[in-house]
Amino acid sequence: MYVCLCHGVTSREVAEAVADGACTSNQVAAMCGAGSDCGRCRRTVQSIIAAANDTNDSRTAECTPLHPRPTTSACTPLHGRTVAIARPA
């Protein structure tokens, strides 16, 4: 079944990317292109990732994103309100 029509990526290709170590939709997009264009297939990609993690619970513990979430810090945007934004560590 085609998951990403923008790049012609099938569910098998997404499953292979997950089997090769992708554990986020961004990693799948980097590996096979699914979800890197319009984003309509991201939910399906996330479902395939979740299904793979359900069948292999040990993989969830060893899965680390390519780009870890940065720490947050305060920033004053143009409108004068202070908000927390992500900054690389």
Range 16-19 contact pairs with CB under 8 angstroms and sequence separation of 24 or more: 18/48, 18/49, 18/52, 19/52
- Say if residue 30 is exposed, middle or buried (CB neighbours under 10 Å; 0-12, 13-18, 19+): middle
pLDDT confidence of residue 46: 95
Domains belonging to the chain, first-starting first, are 2-87 (1.10.10.1100)
* Three-state secondary-structure class, residue 60: helix
pLDDT confidence of residue 54: 81
pTM: 0.64
Q: How confident is the model at residue 11 (pLDDT cuts 50, 70, 90)?
A: very high
